[in-house]
């Protein structure tokens, strides 16, 4: 699947009418059988990590990881979202 970038979103928004721009933004995840409404967009305030222990995956800040894991365990976790990345919340 092609990665959708912010510039692609801007192009799509620029083509919309004022009426279309007033509609809620919906999302659909075919592979997870999820759908709903986007509730926000912004920059991530912290780097978020995946421990691969949750299903669906929960993401944790470094401070949260330090409460429950030692340094070696933390080093094995993957960064999912870097601080400053743009994210959509739903």
- How many CA atoms are closer than 13 Å to the CA of 68, on its beta-carbon side? 8
- Are 75 and 26 in contact, with CB atoms under 8 Å apart? no
Which tokens belong to 78? 């993957």
What pLDDT, on the 0 to 100 scale, is given for residue 1?
62
Cα separation, 64 vs 51, whole angstroms: 11
* pLDDT tens track, the chain, 90 positions: 678 899 999 999 999 999 999 999 888 887 777 888 988 899 999 999 999 887 777 899 999 999 999 999 999 999 999 999 999 888
Give the phi and the psi of residue 88 in degrees, each rounded to 5: -110, 135
In this prediction the pTM is: 0.69
């Amino acid at each position: 699947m092609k990665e959708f970038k912010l510039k692609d979103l801007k192009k799509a928004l620029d083509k919309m009418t004022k009426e279309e721009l007033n509609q809620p933004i919906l999302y659909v995840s075919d592979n997870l059988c999820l759908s709903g409404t986007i509730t926000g967009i912004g920059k991530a305030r912290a780097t978020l990590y995946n421990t691969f222990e949750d299903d669906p995956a929960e993401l944790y800040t470094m401070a949260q990881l330090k409460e429950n894991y030692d340094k070696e365990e933390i080093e094995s976790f993957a960064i999912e979202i870097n601080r400053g990345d743009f994210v959509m919340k739903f």
